[in-house]
Amino acid sequence: MKRIRIINLNYDRCKPDLCGYACLKNCPLVIKGHKNVITIRKNTGKPIINNRTCLMAKKGTCGICVNKCFPGAITVVNLPDPELSGILVHCYGENSFRFYNMPQIVPGKVIGLLGVNGIGKSTILEILAGKTIPNGGDFQDPEAGYSNLLKSISIASIRHFLTELEKKKITVGYKPQVFSDLLKKQISVREILSQYQEEGAPYSTNQVINSMELEAILNRDPGRLSGGELQRLAIALVLIKNADIYLIDEPCTFLDFRQRIRMAEIFHDLATKGKVIFVAEHDIAILDYQSDIIYVFYGNSHKFGVISKLAYSTKKGINNFLLGRLKDENIRIRGKEIIFTRMVKERSWTDLPSIKYPNFQKSLGSFRLNVKRGDVYYGEILCVLGENGLGKTTFARSLAEQLDNVIISFKPQFLHRKYHGTVREFLTEYSQTYIESNDFKLYILKPFSINHLLDKPVSSLSGGELQRCFLAGCLGKKADLYIIDEGSAFLDVEERLNATRVIRHIISKNDAACLAIEHDIQIADALADRILLFEGMPGIHGVTIGPLGKKDGLNRFLKRIDVTFRRDSETGRARLNKKGSQLDKMQRTIESYYHDI
C-alpha cells in the first residue's frame, strides 16, 4: 500500500527541560543552518518539526531526531494512501492528529460509530455538531473555515450538510462525552429541563422524565447527582431539543444494563421519526442492539484516524472490527483477531479454599440492603450484576468491614483527579509496591500502556487514562481479594478486553480472589467464573442472589431484564436478540435467555 510519512510529536512525552532540545541540536539540517526545519512554540516551549523539509518525512533517510529523543516523543507515522482513506477532513497541527473521510448523513437510521479511543470518534461528532470547524488539513489558515474541505468533497449529501451547517441552518442535539458543564448549574433538574425544552421536539419534558427515570431527582441540583443520573439527564436534554441531527457520544457510561437497553429503544424510536442519529459507543453488545448501520474507525491512536468509506450492517461492521479487517475495502486494521470463547466450561469449586462473608444488613437513609452469606474462591472472578441503586457498591465497601482478616485492594466506581502528584507517585502510593520492579513493569505497566504517563500529573489524565491507572494501582497491590467496581467504564473495546486478560492473569498469578462489578454484558461474559446477582427495587431495597453458576446467573439476570442473547457464530461475541424475532421467541419458550452454542 502506498504510504505518506509524517513526523508525529506526542506533547505529553516531550520534555525539553530534560533532553535540552536533542531533536534541535542533532538535526543535520539545523546544524547546516537551515532555519525552517524545527521551530519552538512560544507558548509551550515545545518543538514543531516541519514535515515539508524534514529529511525523514520527505525521503525516509534520516531519523536522527527519533533516535535522539529519549522520552520517545517523536515518531514516524505512515499515513494511508488518500485513495483508500479518503479526504483529509481535519488536522490539529503540523505534528498532531489527523482525521480522514466523512460519514454519510442517513435520516431515519441509528448510525453507530465503532473504534478505539483516540481514533477520531469525538472529533467527527464535534465536526458534525459545528463545535469544531474542519480545516481540510490547512491548520495554518483558521479563517478558511469549511471552504478547504468543501473543495475536496464530491458526495452531494455531505456537501449540502456542511454548507447548511456553516450557514447555521442545521440544528443539532449534541451529548458530549464529558458533561462537566452540567455540574456548573446551581438550579434543580426540574428547572434545567424547563429551560432546555423546545417546541417541536420529538419528546416532551414529561416523556423524558418517565423514559429516563428522572422523577426521583427533579428537585436536586446536578452537583448532588450520581454519574448514572447525570448521564440520563444529559441524554434527556438532547431528546427535548428540536434538532435535525442528534449526536450522542458514549451514552452507556455509568448506566446499568437495563438502562442501556431502554436508552437503545429510545434511540430507535427517535429514528422512526425521521431524525439523523449518530452514536459512538464502546459496549459492543449495546452498539449492535441499537444501531442500524456501523461505521468502523481505524488508524493509529492519537496520530491519525480514518472512518470506513462503507457503512456496514451491525453484524458485519462489528465482526470486521473484531477480526481486524475491512474485507470490502481491502484494508487490514489490526494484526490480531479478537475471538471470544464460544462455550461456557464451568469449573467445579467444591472443597477449594475461599473467602467467606456472612449474612448482614446495611441501611443508607431509606435504602435497605440484605446480604445473604456467600463466598469467593481463591483463583475465582465473581462477577456482580444488577441495576443501579440496588447496593452493589455498598456491598463491596461493606466487605472491608466484614472481612478484617483479609487484605483487600479496591478500585472504586467513581474516579477522581484530586491527587496532587504524578502518575508514578499515585501508583506507588496506591499499590504500596515498588513500581520500578521488573514484575510491575511486565505485568502492570506494559499491558495497561502506562509507561508514557508516569510523569504526567493525575489531574491532567483523560477518563480512559485515569481508569487504566486506577486498575493498575489496584491490581499492582498484593492482596487476597481484589474488588473492581465498574472497571470497563471509559475504556474502549480493545482496552476492556485487555483489562479482562490482565485481571485474570493477576488473580491466577497471586492465587487471589476477585469481585468485579460490571454493566457491560460482553465483558461480564468474558470475565466471570460465577455470578452474584442483586435484585430488589432501586433506591429502596436490594438483596443478593447467589453466588450462582455462570450460565444460571446470566440466564436469571437476562430474564429479569427481559432480553435474550445468542453467540455470534463467527466471533463468539454476545449478541442481543431483537425483541419479537424468531430466535428471541424460541429462546423465551425454552427459557434459555443466555443461549450458549
Tens-digit pLDDT profile for residues 80-131: 776 667 888 999 888 889 999 999 999 999 999 999 999 999 999 999 999 9
The yes-or-no verdict on residue 238 having pLDDT over 90 is: yes
Question: How far is 594 from 550, CA to CA, in rounded Å?
Answer: 10
Burial class (CB in 10 A: 0-12, 13-18, 19+), 535: middle
Mean pLDDT within 571-590: 91
Question: How far is 208 from 199, CA to CA, in rounded Å?
Answer: 14
Average pLDDT, the chain: 89
Residue 11's pLDDT is what?
80
The yes-or-no verdict on residue 1 having pLDDT over 60 is: no
Among 52, 54, 53, 48, CA closest to 16: 48
Kindly report, residue by residue over 296-326, the tens digit of the pLDDT. 999 988 889 999 999 999 999 999 999 999 9
Mean pLDDT within 590-595: 88
Among 344, 301, 297, CA closest to 318: 297
Burial class (CB in 10 A: 0-12, 13-18, 19+), 36: exposed
Give the residue with greater pLDDT, 509 vs 149.
509
The yes-or-no verdict on residue 148 having pLDDT over 50 is: yes
Mean pLDDT within 407-417: 88
Residue 377's pLDDT is what?
95
- Among the residue ranges 78-92, 109-123, 273-287, 518-532, the one predicted with the least confidence is 78-92
Q: What's phi and psi for 353, nearest 5 deg?
A: -65, 145
> Which domains are present in the chain?
4-79 (3.30.70.20), 369-549 (3.40.50.300), 563-597 (no CATH)
Residue 343's pLDDT is what?
61
> How remote is the C-alpha of 258 from its chain's centroid?
19
C-alpha pair distances (Å), 290 with each of 254, 260, 303, 492: 18, 9, 30, 18
Share of the chain above pLDDT 90, in %: 57
Going by pLDDT thresholds of 50, 70 and 90, the confidence category of residue 579 is confident
- Among the residue ranges 123-137, 332-346, 367-381, 444-458, the one predicted with the least confidence is 332-346
3-state secondary structure of 361: strand
Do 234 and 263 touch, CB atoms closer than 8 A? no
Residue 2's pLDDT is what?
52
Question: How far is 448 from 487, CA to CA, in rounded Å?
Answer: 13
- Cell numbers found for residue 123: 472529533
Residue 586's pLDDT is what?
93
Residue 24's pLDDT is what?
87
Kindly report, residue by residue over 29-40, the tens digit of the pLDDT. 889 888 888 888
The yes-or-no verdict on residue 597 having pLDDT over 90 is: no
Tell me the whole-structure pTM to 2 decimals.
0.89
The yes-or-no verdict on residue 344 having pLDDT over 70 is: no
Share of the chain above pLDDT 70, in %: 98
Question: How far is 375 from 33, CA to CA, in rounded Å?
Answer: 71
Measured between alpha carbons, how far apart are the two ends of the chain, in Å? Answer: 39
Mean pLDDT within 401-430: 89
Question: How far is 328 from 309, CA to CA, in rounded Å?
Answer: 10
Among 187, 242, 189, 245, CA closest to 212: 189
The yes-or-no verdict on residue 71 having pLDDT over 80 is: no
Kindly report, residue by residue over 454-468, the tens digit of the pLDDT. 888 898 888 889 999
Q: How many helices (H) and strands (E) does the chain have?
A: 24, 27
Find the radius of gyration of the CA atoms of the chain. Answer: 25
The yes-or-no verdict on residue 426 having pLDDT over 90 is: yes
**Residues shown for the chain:** 597
Residue 119's pLDDT is what?
92
- Among the residue ranges 72-86, 116-130, 237-251, 502-516, the one predicted with the least confidence is 72-86
Positive or negative: CA dihedral 159, 162, 167, 170: positive
- Please name every residue paired with 530 in a beta bridge, in sequence order, or none if there are none: 382, 549
Do 565 and 597 touch, CB atoms closer than 8 A? no
Question: How far is 136 from 152, CA to CA, in rounded Å?
Answer: 8
Do 251 and 227 touch, CB atoms closer than 8 A? no
Among 208, 265, 539, CA closest to 386: 539
Mean pLDDT within 415-426: 87
The yes-or-no verdict on residue 494 having pLDDT over 80 is: yes
